[in-house]
Amino acid sequence: MRYSADGVAIVCPCCRNETFDKDYRQLNSRGATFFGLDWANRNATILVCQRCTYISWFMSEPRAHKN
């Protein structure tokens, strides 16, 4: 799938590929983990390049475009 952020097409900085797999990761903080509050941490969207597997992180959801 192809994605854009703020109207700009996302391209892999390593191999210049334009197709990615999307997933989500939790952004853990030491304080929340110490108190057992990992569920309260924010999530980030990650895009994994389908060619070289480079991972790009986004705090806001990239917009999907059909291939």
**Interatomic CA distance for residues 66 and 3, integer angstroms:** 9
**Structure pTM?**
0.79
Structure tokens at 17: 């590929």
Q: Is 54's pLDDT higher than 70? A: yes
Round to whole Å and give the CA distance between 42 and 34: 16
Domains of the chain by start residue, with CATH: 2-62 (2.20.25)
**C-alpha to C-alpha distance for 61 and 27, rounded to whole angstroms:** 15
Summarize pLDDT for 11-45 with one digit per residue, the tens.
Answer: 999 999 999 999 998 766 555 455 565 555 567 89
